[in-house]
């Protein structure tokens, strides 16, 4: 198969930091003092990378753009992608550089603490981005880099992104803390924004519903706010006003949807690291398959719940059969 055919078949590409996550399950996150580590694991990570991996596992044609070092960790990241079927020729290997890494502490209350060593991610340049490759996909799923040089590259990329390529954006805490003004050039182009309840407050200074409204005004078409184990939300006005307990809130210019917990008890929760990336996987899968926003939200919830059953984001990702089976069980509908 020639390269142009391969490229034009890719439905969604990812761009973001590529890291090895070093996960430590601890009794509790400390301000100061000592605590015991109950379990450790190292596994491939990176926000957009996790989402793209999950989509590939569901059978979606995916590719990724980013950088790794020429070390053992870089090889692990590449092999993990290739095993899932992600197209990897656009991942650049930087000679002499160390692959990015994250130390992640996670406690039994679901609280997390992340410490990033960007490594090779700080070496990404505009020359590393193949614009033809990126623009031939239906969607680009974008997440953050730690360094300001890469942020400037992403701002420049916005001017070169084809209108036919829809942008999916997961800013994470690093970019949400920059605020609306700094992110405006990206948000203007964003078709779908993935953000959690803390990040939307950081980004907009508003609560969930008003924050989502602000993001729509910036030019986003769809806002998806993940709400962890669930919170009470006030929706609608006047006679349509209602209070619901939601694990997700979805808003576009016309409608708002609360994704309510399906009470699906898979097994005990092992690790919430990357649950938002997993939610994005299920949601984007639904979107690529032409599902409505509410169905997309339900798919996001199912994939996120699968992911938190194992330590490390990717270990728990479902296959398409598992996703379809769970969707059928919960909603009595074919996927």
Tens-digit pLDDT profile for residues 177-235: 999 999 999 999 999 999 999 999 999 999 999 999 999 999 999 999 999 888 888 88
Contacts of 324 (CB under 8 A, 6+ apart): 334, 335
Please, which pLDDT band fits residue 261 given cuts at 50, 70 and 90?
confident
- Please tell me the distance from the alpha carbon of residue 283 to that of residue 264, in angstroms, as a whole number: 17
CB 197 within 8 A of CB 176: no
Band (pLDDT 50/70/90 cuts) for residue 239 is confident
Gap between the Cα atoms of 286 and 283, Å rounded: 5
Work out the number of other CB atoms within 10 angstroms of the CB of residue 147.
16
Is pLDDT at 101 greater than 90 in this prediction?
yes
Q: What are the CA-CA distances from residue 14 to residues 41, 86, 169, 313 (Å)? A: 24, 10, 10, 16
DSSP state, residue 164 = T
Q: Report whether pLDDT(6) > 80.
A: no
Higher confidence at residue 262 or residue 215? Answer: 215
Q: Any idea which fold 3-170+262-331 has?
A: 3.40.1190
Instruction: Return the H-helix or E-strand segment holding 116.
Output: strand 112-117
Give yes or no for a contact between 313 and 304, defined as CB atoms under 8 angstroms apart: no
Q: What pairing do the DSSP bridges indicate for beta strands 91-94 and 62-69?
A: parallel
Greatest mean pLDDT among 24-33, 84-93, 273-282, 304-313 lies in 84-93
61 conformational bin, left if phi > 0, alpha if psi -120 to 50, beta if neither: beta
Q: At what angle do helices 293-307 and 275-288 cross, to 10 degrees?
A: 140
pTM: 0.93
Do 194 and 170 meet the contact criterion of CB atoms below 8 Å apart? Answer: yes
CA 299/CA 279 separation, integer angstroms: 8
Query: Could you tell me the CA-to-CA distances from 266 to 8, 144, 224, 306, 307 in Å, in that order?
Result: 37, 31, 23, 7, 10
């Amino acid at each position: 198969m020639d390269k142009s055919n391969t490229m034009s078949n890719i439905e969604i590409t990812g761009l973001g930091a590529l890291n090895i996550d070093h996960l430590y399950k601890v009794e509790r996150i400390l301000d100061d003092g000592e605590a015991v580590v109950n379990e450790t694991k190292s596994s491939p990570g990176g926000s957009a990378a996790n989402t793209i991996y999950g989509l590939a596992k569901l059978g979606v044609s995916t590719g990724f753009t980013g950088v790794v070092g020429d070390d053992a960790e870089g090889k692990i990241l590449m092999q993990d992608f290739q095993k899932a079927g992600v197209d990897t020729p656009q991942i650049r290997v930087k000679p002499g550089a160390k692959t990015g890494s994250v130390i992640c502490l996670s406690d039994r209350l679901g609280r997390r603490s992340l410490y990033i060593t960007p490594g090779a991610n700080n070496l990404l340049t505009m020359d590393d981005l193949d614009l033809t490759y990126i623009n031939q996909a239906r969607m680009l799923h974008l997440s953050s880099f730690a360094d300001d040089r890469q942020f400037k590259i992403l701002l420049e990329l916005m001017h070169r992104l084809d209108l036919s390529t829809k942008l999916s954006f997961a800013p994470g805490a690093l970019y949400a803390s920059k605020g609306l003004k700094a992110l405006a050039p990206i948000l203007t182009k964003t078709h779908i924004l993935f953000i959690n309840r803390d990040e939307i407050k950081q980004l907009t200074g508003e609560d969930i519903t008003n924050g989502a409204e602000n993001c729509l005004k910036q030019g986003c078409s769809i806002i998806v706010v993940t709400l962890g184990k669930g919170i009470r939300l006030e929706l609608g006005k006047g006679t349509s006003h209602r209070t619901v307990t939601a694990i997700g809130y979805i808003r576009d210019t016309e409608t708002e949807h609360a994704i309510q917990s399906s009470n699906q008890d898979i097994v005990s929760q092992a690790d919430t690291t990357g649950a938002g990336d997993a939610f994005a996987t299920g949601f984007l899968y639904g979107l690529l398959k032409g599902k409505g926003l509410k169905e997309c939200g339900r798919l996001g919830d199912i994939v996120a719940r699968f992911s938190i059953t194992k330590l490390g984001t990717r270990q728990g990702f479902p296959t398409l059969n598992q996703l379809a089976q769970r969707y059928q069980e919960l909603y009595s509908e074919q996927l």
